[in-house]
Amino acid sequence: MNPSEHIKSLRQAGNFQAAIEYGKDYVNDFYALIQINWAYYGLIKGQVSEVLTLLERHPPHYGKIKQIYDTAREYAKLPNRRADSSLSNILRELTKLAAYSPDYLRFIHWVVKIDGIQNESWQASEYQGKQYSPLVCSIARGLAKWANHFSQQTTPADLEYIIGWLKNTRDVAVGDDALWLDWDSVKLLKQLNKHQEAAQILGYLLKTKNKEFWLWQQAGQLYASEQPDLAKACFCQALQCSRKPEFSVNVHLDLAQLLVEQDEIAWANGEVLQAKNIREQHGWKTGDALQKLLDAGWFNPENALSDSELNQQYQQYAPDALVLCFDKVQEYEANFATVFSVSLPADSPKKKKTKQLAKFIFRPNKNGQAVSVVSTETKTTTQFQAGMPVTLLIGKSVKEQQTILHIRPRETGQLWDCADKQHGVVENIKNHKIGVFLNRNNYVFAPIDLWQGDLPKIGDGVLAYTAYHQKKDRQEILLAQANELVKNQDVKIFSGSLKRHEKGFAFVDDVFIAPHFLKDMDDMSKISVTVVAIYSKNPKKAEFGWRAIQLQVE
**Mean pLDDT in residue range 385-411:** 87
Residue 541: per-residue pLDDT: 80
At residue 520, does pLDDT exceed 80? no
| Cβ within 8 Å of residue 210, ≥6 positions away | 241, 322, 325
Q: Alpha-carbon distance 299 to 276, whole Å?
A: 13
Does the global pTM surpass 0.95? no
pLDDT band at 347 (very low <50, low <70, confident <90, very high): low
pLDDT band at 348 (very low <50, low <70, confident <90, very high): low
At residue 351, does pLDDT exceed 70? no
Calculate helix-pair angle for 156-169, 177-191, nearest 10 degrees: 160
**Mean pLDDT in residue range 180-206:** 90
At residue 525, does pLDDT exceed 90? no
Q: Using only C-alpha atoms, what is the Rg of the chain?
A: 35
At residue 400, does pLDDT exceed 70? no
Burial zone of 350 (CB within 10 Å; 0-12 exposed, 13-18 middle, 19+ buried):
exposed
Name which of 23, 6, 17 is nearest 46 in CA terms: 17
- Higher-confidence residue: 479 or 324? 479
| Cβ within 8 Å of residue 16, ≥6 positions away | 10, 39, 40, 42, 43, 46
What are the Cα distances from residue 522, in Å, to 496, 498, 517, 518, 550?
A: 17, 12, 12, 8, 18
Name which of 229, 496, 206 is nearest 374 in CA terms: 229
Name which of 520, 461, 524 is nearest 493 in CA terms: 461
* Dihedral sign from CA coordinates of 469, 475, 476, 477: positive
Residue 395: per-residue pLDDT: 85
Query: What pLDDT, in 10s, does the model give residues 51-61?
Result: 999 998 898 99
Residue 165: per-residue pLDDT: 98
Contact call for residues 402 and 396 (beta carbons, < 8 A): yes
**Mean pLDDT in residue range 24-29:** 93
Helix, strand and coil percent figures for the chain, each rounded to 5: 45, 25, 30
Mean pLDDT check: name the lowest of 161-165, 201-205, 232-236, 534-538.
Answer: 201-205
**Mean pLDDT in residue range 438-455:** 92
pLDDT band at 273 (very low <50, low <70, confident <90, very high): very high
Residue 542: per-residue pLDDT: 79
Residue 406: per-residue pLDDT: 87
Query: What pLDDT, in 10s, does the model give residues 73-132?
Result: 999 999 989 999 999 999 999 999 999 999 999 999 999 999 999 999 999 998 888 889
- Type of residue at 260: V
Residue 193: per-residue pLDDT: 87
Q: Alpha-carbon distance 75 to 116, whole Å?
A: 13
CB atoms within 10 A of CB 130: 9
DSSP 385: P
Mean pLDDT check: name the lowest of 167-171, 208-212, 534-538.
Answer: 208-212
Average pLDDT of the chain?
Answer: 91
For the chain, the maximum distance between any two Cα atoms, rounded to a whole number of angstroms, is 135
At residue 346, does pLDDT exceed 70? no
- Catalogue all structural domains in the chain, each as residue range(s) with its CATH number: 221-325 (no CATH), 326-342+355-409 (2.40.50), 420-482 (2.40.50.140), 491-553 (2.40.50)
**Does residue 78 sit in helix, strand or coil?**
coil
